[in-house]
């Protein structure tokens, strides 16, 4: 009984020491968008999803941007239920679409939002934000290195969360970045993979025609750069055909403009002019996304100038300049001014051409300064983030070392106390056994002595009886 009590005591001591020596690390669970969605009422869920579908319809049908503002208001309302980051994402998208903010400001907002999603571990939003960063850099600030970096991150993020829609977009953006940096060979595999992803998605869901048009459009540009002229023409024709059937104004406008350029290379100026006329009609429907409208109009003006329609080219360039001034888009203003200068020069108006060219140069210098400042700021932030990560890593290593030390100390304490307890236990057990042996030996001696005394008494009794018997016989 005593030995069992000792064992129970040391077992409880062991459990107590283990509980205070090994820390329990509790991981805080971050609420995902799916779990947040469960907090909404059925009415709010319907409002949210109908609004998102309505937003897609608004973009596809090129309606007035007021619908984007209504969607933003609903997203902000749902933000109070936990959709803060989702609401802010669409807020930035709507601002970018109607050009209420500059490209640099959009980049700053997207970067801040990306860091918040990383801090909150909301991975489902990251592919969209990374892709928007890449698109803004490509078409807004025209920082190819910046765009390439975030496009590759968008590909990796989309693969991680298995977002097929964003994967197709991100792959296309990587191809676009390679193309703009003059490397069509590297762009081709990314664009082909994007085409496979988007064709598969379109066949399964009967959605995504505009996305498919963009990839085919870029694939045509890549084939053209690689001098695969027949493949370039076929890809661009297919892009135009899909855009016309789906009535996609944005992607269709760019595809028609580039198809006109390919017809011009083949010497078919009449067909090229018809393509441009249709592209101009599409461009007038892009009031909801001024960034792409300005880019398309500038490109159309350049192709019109190549066709020899100088006055029409000047008209489109001047229209682009008005839109760019209204949107306060400096890069688009610079490009429109440069196109105005070329059209005026082609018309023989040298003084006007020089004036436009000089204004364009001044704006370009200002843009270069802004981009340099943004690049320096982003580099400084990355260095700061890297240092913060290093400090965090050192702190985690220190905590891990302290935890391991505590574990080792706990195990050592358990072993020492266990050894002491074991020694005491076996020592007590040996003393108890020794006492049992001594008592057993004393008992044996007593038994032997009692037996010997009994035998001695019996011997003396028998001797007395024999002596008495002999005396009786002698008489």
Closest CA to 282 of 250, 304, 313, 255: 250
The number of angstroms, rounded, from the C-alpha of 122 to the middle of its chain's C-alpha atoms is: 8
Measured distance CA(269)–CA(432) in Å, rounded? 115
DSSP state of 26: P
Q: What is the DSSP string of 42-86?
A: HHHHHHHHHHHHHHHHHHHHT--THHHHHHHHHHHHHIIIIIHHH
Per-residue confidence (pLDDT) for residue 227, from 0 to 100: 92
Per-residue confidence (pLDDT) for residue 9, from 0 to 100: 52
Domain boundaries, the chain: 33-98
pLDDT (tens, 9 = 90+) of the chain, 475 residues, equals 444 555 545 555 544 444 444 334 333 323 334 454 455 555 555 555 555 544 444 444 334 444 445 555 655 565 544 456 766 676 677 666 655 567 778 888 888 888 888 887 778 888 988 998 999 888 878 889 889 999 999 999 999 988 888 899 999 999 999 999 999 999 999 999 999 999 998 888 776 788 889 999 999 999 999 999 999 999 999 999 999 988 888 889 999 999 999 999 999 999 999 999 999 999 988 876 778 888 899 999 999 999 999 999 999 999 999 988 887 778 888 888 999 999 999 999 989 888 888 888 887 777 666 566 555 665 666 666 666 666 777 777 777 778 778 788 778 777 777 777 777 777 777 777 777 777 777 777 776 677 777 777 777 777 777 777 777 776 5
CA distances 319 to 65, 95, 140, 385, Å, are: 20, 22, 19, 44
Helix, strand or coil, per DSSP, at residue 1: coil
Per-residue confidence (pLDDT) for residue 91, from 0 to 100: 67
Per-residue confidence (pLDDT) for residue 369, from 0 to 100: 67
Closest CA to 317 of 283, 350, 351, 275: 283
Measured distance CA(174)–CA(149) in Å, rounded? 9
Give the up-direction half-sphere exposure of residue 105: CA atoms within 13 A in the CB hemisphere: 11
Measured distance CA(392)–CA(398) in Å, rounded? 10
Specify whether the CB–CB gap between 174 and 148 falls below 8 A.
yes
CA distances 138 to 87, 177, 295, Å, are: 24, 7, 12
Specify whether the CB–CB gap between 274 and 264 falls below 8 A.
no
CA distances 285 to 32, 65, 149, 471, Å, are: 37, 11, 32, 158
Specify whether the CB–CB gap between 335 and 298 falls below 8 A.
yes
pTM for the model stands at 0.61
φ, ψ of residue 320 to 5 degrees: the values are -60, -40
Write down the number of H helices and E strands in the chain. Answer: 18, 0
Per-residue confidence (pLDDT) for residue 451, from 0 to 100: 75
CA distances 222 to 191, 200, 268, Å, are: 9, 21, 22
Residue 112, both tokens = 């801040």
Measured distance CA(294)–CA(300) in Å, rounded? 10
Residue 295, both tokens = 């880019």
Per-residue confidence (pLDDT) for residue 47, from 0 to 100: 54
């Amino acid at each position: 009984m005593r030995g069992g009590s000792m064992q129970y005591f040391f077992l409880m001591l062991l459990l107590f020491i283990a509980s205070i020596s090994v820390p329990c690390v509790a991981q805080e669970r971050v609420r995902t968008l799916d779990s947040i969605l469960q907090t909404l009422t059925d009415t709010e869920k319907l409002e949210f999803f109908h609004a998102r579908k309505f937003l897609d319809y608004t973009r596809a049908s090129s309606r007035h941007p007021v619908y984007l503002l209504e969607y933003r208001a609903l997203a902000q309302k749902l933000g109070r239920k936990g959709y803060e980051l989702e609401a802010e994402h669409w807020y930035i998208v709507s601002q970018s679409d109607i050009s209420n903010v500059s490209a640099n400001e959009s980049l700053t907002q997207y970067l801040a939002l990306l860091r918040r999603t990383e801090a909150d571990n909301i991975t489902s939003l990251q592919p969209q934000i990374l892709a928007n960063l890449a698109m803004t850099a490509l078409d807004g600030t025209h920082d190819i290195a910046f765009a390439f970096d975030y496009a590759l991150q968008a590909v990796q993020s989309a693969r991680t969360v298995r977002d097929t829609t964003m994967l197709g977009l991100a792959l296309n953006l990587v191809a676009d970045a390679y193309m703009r940096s003059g490397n069509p060979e590297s762009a081709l595999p990314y664009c082909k993979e994007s085409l496979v992803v988007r064709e598969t998605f379109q066949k399964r869901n009967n959605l995504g025609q505009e996305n498919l048009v963009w990839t085919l459009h870029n694939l045509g540009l890549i084939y053209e750069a690689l001098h695969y002229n027949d493949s370039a023409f076929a890809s661009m024709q297919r892009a135009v055909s899909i855009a016309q059937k789906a009535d996609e104004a944005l992607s269709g406008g760019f595809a028609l403009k580039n198809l006109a350029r390919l017809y011009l290379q083949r010497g078919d100026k009449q067909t090229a002019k018809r393509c441009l006329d249709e592209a101009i009609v599409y461009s007038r429907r892009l009031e909801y996304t001024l960034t792409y409208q300005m880019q398309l109009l500038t490109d159309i003006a350049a192709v019109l100038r190549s066709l020899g329609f100088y006055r029409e080219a000047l008209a489109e360039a001047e229209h682009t300049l008005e839109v760019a001034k209204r949107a306060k888009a400096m890069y688009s203003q610079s490009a429109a001014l440069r196109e105005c200068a070329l059209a005026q020069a082609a018309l023989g108006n040298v003084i006007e051409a020089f004036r436009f060219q000089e204004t364009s140069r001044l704006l370009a210098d200002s843009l270069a300064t802004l981009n340099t400042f943004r690049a320096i700021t982003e580099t400084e932030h990355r260095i700061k983030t890297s240092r913060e990560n290093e400090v965090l890593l050192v702190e985690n290593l220190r905590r891990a070392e302290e935890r391991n030390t505590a574990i080792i100390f706990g195990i050592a304490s358990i072993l020492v106390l266990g050894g002491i307890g074991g020694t005491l236990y076996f020592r007590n057990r040996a003393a108890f056994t020794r006492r049992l042996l001594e008592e057993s030996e004393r008992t044996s001696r007593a038994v032997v002595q009692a037996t010997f005394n009994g035998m001695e008494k019996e011997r003396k009794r028998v001797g007395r009886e024999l002596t008495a018997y002999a005396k009786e016989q002698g008489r």
